[in-house]
Amino acid sequence: MEPLSRRNMLRAGGALGALGALSVATPAKAWTWSPQGSVAGAGVGADPRWVWDEEADPLVASLIDRGDVPMVNTLLRTWKKNGQPLPAGLPADLHAFMERARQLPPWADQAKLDLAVDFNEKRGLYLGVLYGLASGMMSTVIPKEALAVYYSQGGADMKDRISKTAKLGYDIGAVNAYRPDGEMIVTAVKTRLVHAAVRHLLPQSPYWTQVAEEDIPISQRDIMVTWHSLPTTVMRKLTDWKVPIPEAESQAFLHSWQVGAYLLGVRDEYIPNSWAEANSQATQVLDPVLRPTPEGIKLADILLNLGKGIDGGLLTKGILGSFTRFMLGDEVAGWLKIPRELVWDPLLRTAWGPFIAVREGLLPFPLAPKAYWLFDEFLRKAALLFLSEAKPISIEIPLTNRPT
Ligand code: HEM
């Protein structure tokens, strides 16, 4: 059977028919999260599945069609810092858009953004591992994301893609992330342009159109799903692990990601205003969509092989796999065909809790067994792999899909 898609529904009976078909055909996926729980505090409550980026999408499609992208990419390579003026010579429409898109939202709170930096510094080791092995591996079982990534240009060179994605994780946590000498605004605005390009390009991929559920990828709902695989999942894990986090720091971390979502083009009415609201949205849109796809399994395998050769074997595929199992559970590990590890699986199950307690100073430090130091060393290496290794790499607008 042909997959249910907006295209099929539109074909079947026009826009109104499509909305009707949607509510009947996909009741479980209906969007019921209230905009009252958003940073806007109000909104029409329309399902963000049908909302993309009305400003960036036509603009980037036009840049591609009129052949401006190579020139734009060359110019944007020099645009690195938030406070830096845009390079001269950009097409006027792009320049005007980027000037608007680089502004922080009126609700951005600089004091919270500064405090988020403290949080990121204190928790940097955990964050590196969580972004890499919880969020990164989770992205391979978010089917729409896995398919989009696999069939887009970057899918053919995952190492390069990961370093670009890791750059965002690094920039959002770096000192001065959103200050004039930081880089997060630049990274987010460039990513918004890349996403717009992907919306134009992927529908032209003969592979993607065969497997995709929809005509146009990366809806605002999809962005929020991925967003939840990042800060919401990280906070869920830190809470599970009983890492003590002062309330103000937890709020600050959330805020840095709220601003991140805004800069990626997400409307205020879809950005949760609290962790409780984030969790309720994630329960609705993230948790139920997780499942394996052949493309996601291949991506996961590439990710697990990234540690090879970094440090003479400590970060072997087996350990990364074991951490993935520990963080995402047996079901996800099974989907991704991650083998069981005889040493690391039981060690993580029994020693991780006490290790966190020791690290957080809840238990007397001299009693820390050797295994805990092993974990600490692993954290350092893995954080380096997923975050600090993110070189000053340039995020560029793609012109093609994955080569055929
Ligand atoms: C590109 C981050 C949501 C699919 C990128 C890049 C970053 C990024 C930093 C630039 C890397 C590069 O150029 O390779 C994010 C963040 C998201 C998000 C932080 C949400 C909070 C999504 C979603 C999808 C998606 C929901 C798909 C459903 C892609 C694709 C590319 C891309 C296909 C381009 C890959 C390429 O051809 O190089 N994203 N993304 N992203 N993203 Fe996202």
- DSSP letter string, 181-199: T-SHHHHHHHHHHHHHHHH
CA dihedral sign of residues 354, 356, 361, 367? positive
Roughly what angle, to the nearest 10 degrees, separates helices 158-173 and 247-263?
130
Atom of ligand 1 nearest to the CA of 151: 33
CA-CA-CA-CA dihedral for 150, 152, 158, 161, to nearest 10: -130
Provide the pLDDT for residue 388.
60
Q: Which of 154-163, 166-175, 288-297 has the lowest mean pLDDT?
A: 154-163
Pick the residue whose CA is nearest to atom 32 on ligand 1: 195
The answer on pLDDT for 230 being more than 90 is: yes
Name the residue of 195, 225, 387, 393 to mutate for ligand 1: max ligand atoms within 8 A of Cβ: 195
The answer on pLDDT for 64 being more than 50 is: yes
Ligand 1 centre and the CA of 218: distance in Å?
Answer: 8
Please report whether residue 277 resides in a domain: yes
Q: Give the percent of the chain with pLDDT over 90.
A: 64
Pick the residue whose CA is nearest to atom 13 on ligand 1: 395
Pocket lined around ligand 1, Cβ cut-off 6 Å: 144-145, 148-149, 152-154, 161, 164-165, 168, 191, 194-195, 198, 217-218, 222-223, 226-227, 230, 264, 395, 398
Provide the pLDDT for residue 14.
32
Ligand 1 centre and the CA of 154: distance in Å?
Answer: 9
Please report whether residue 185 resides in a domain: yes
Whether the Cβ atoms of residue 344 and residue 318 lie closer than 8 Å to each other:
yes
Q: Name the DSSP letter for residue 55.
A: T
Pick the residue whose CA is nearest to atom 29 on ligand 1: 149
Ligand 1 centre and the CA of 139: distance in Å?
Answer: 10
3-state secondary structure (DSSP) of residue 272: strand
Query: 152 lies in which domain range?
Result: 55-289
Residue (of 106, 112, 108) closest to 247 by Cα position: 112
Number of H helices, E strands in the chain: 19, 0
Whether the Cβ atoms of residue 155 and residue 149 lie closer than 8 Å to each other:
yes
Count: domains in the chain: 1
The answer on pLDDT for 22 being more than 50 is: no
The answer on pLDDT for 8 being more than 70 is: no
Name the residue of 57, 142, 165, 211 to mutate for ligand 1: max ligand atoms within 8 A of Cβ: 165
Ligand 1 centre and the CA of 378: distance in Å?
Answer: 27
Please report whether residue 328 resides in a domain: no
* 316 band by pLDDT with thresholds 50, 70 and 90: confident
Please report whether residue 70 resides in a domain: yes
pLDDT (average), residues 188-214? 95
Whether the Cβ atoms of residue 118 and residue 164 lie closer than 8 Å to each other:
no
pLDDT in tens, 95-143: 999 999 999 999 999 999 999 988 988 888 889 889 888 999 999 999 9
Whether the Cβ atoms of residue 265 and residue 48 lie closer than 8 Å to each other:
no
Provide the pLDDT for residue 367.
58
Pick the residue whose CA is nearest to atom 9 on ligand 1: 165
What is the ipTM, given to two decimal places?
Answer: 0.98
CA dihedral sign of residues 68, 69, 72, 74? negative
pLDDT in tens, 135-157: 999 999 999 999 999 999 887 77
**pLDDT, mean over the chain:** 87
Phi, psi of 215 (to 5 degrees): -75, -40
Greater pLDDT, 179 or 317: 179
Ligand 1 centre and the CA of 191: distance in Å?
Answer: 7
The answer on pLDDT for 220 being more than 50 is: yes
Q: To the nearest 5 percent, what fractions of the chain are helix, strand and coil?
A: 65, 0, 35
Q: Name the DSSP letter for residue 141.
A: T
Q: Using the structure block, give the residue that is written with the tokens 């770096």.
A: 174
Q: Give 258: exposed, middle or buried? Use CB within 10 Å, 0-12, 13-18, 19+.
A: buried
Provide the pLDDT for residue 5.
43
Q: Give 289: exposed, middle or buried? Use CB within 10 Å, 0-12, 13-18, 19+.
A: middle
Please report whether residue 273 resides in a domain: yes
The answer on pLDDT for 364 being more than 60 is: no
The answer on pLDDT for 289 being more than 90 is: yes
Ligand 1 centre and the CA of 246: distance in Å?
Answer: 31
3-state secondary structure (DSSP) of residue 401: strand
Ligand 1 centre and the CA of 152: distance in Å?
Answer: 10
* 7 band by pLDDT with thresholds 50, 70 and 90: very low
Residue (of 1, 97, 9, 22) closest to 54 by Cα position: 97
Greater pLDDT, 359 or 112: 112
Provide the pLDDT for residue 311.
61
pLDDT (average), residues 173-196? 94
Greater pLDDT, 271 or 213: 271
* 366 band by pLDDT with thresholds 50, 70 and 90: low
Provide the pLDDT for residue 365.
59
Atom of ligand 1 nearest to the CA of 396: 13
pLDDT in tens, 31-48: 999 999 999 999 999 999
Paired with 38 in beta bridges are 272
Provide the pLDDT for residue 167.
78
Ligand 1 centre and the CA of 195: distance in Å?
Answer: 6
Ligand 1 centre and the CA of 368: distance in Å?
Answer: 40
Please report whether residue 329 resides in a domain: no
The answer on pLDDT for 211 being more than 70 is: yes
* 291 band by pLDDT with thresholds 50, 70 and 90: very high
Provide the pLDDT for residue 25.
36
Name the residue of 151, 170, 191, 295 to mutate for ligand 1: max ligand atoms within 8 A of Cβ: 191
Ligand 1 centre and the CA of 386: distance in Å?
Answer: 16
Please report whether residue 149 resides in a domain: yes
* 171 band by pLDDT with thresholds 50, 70 and 90: confident
Provide the pLDDT for residue 360.
85
58/203 Cα distance (integer angstroms): 14
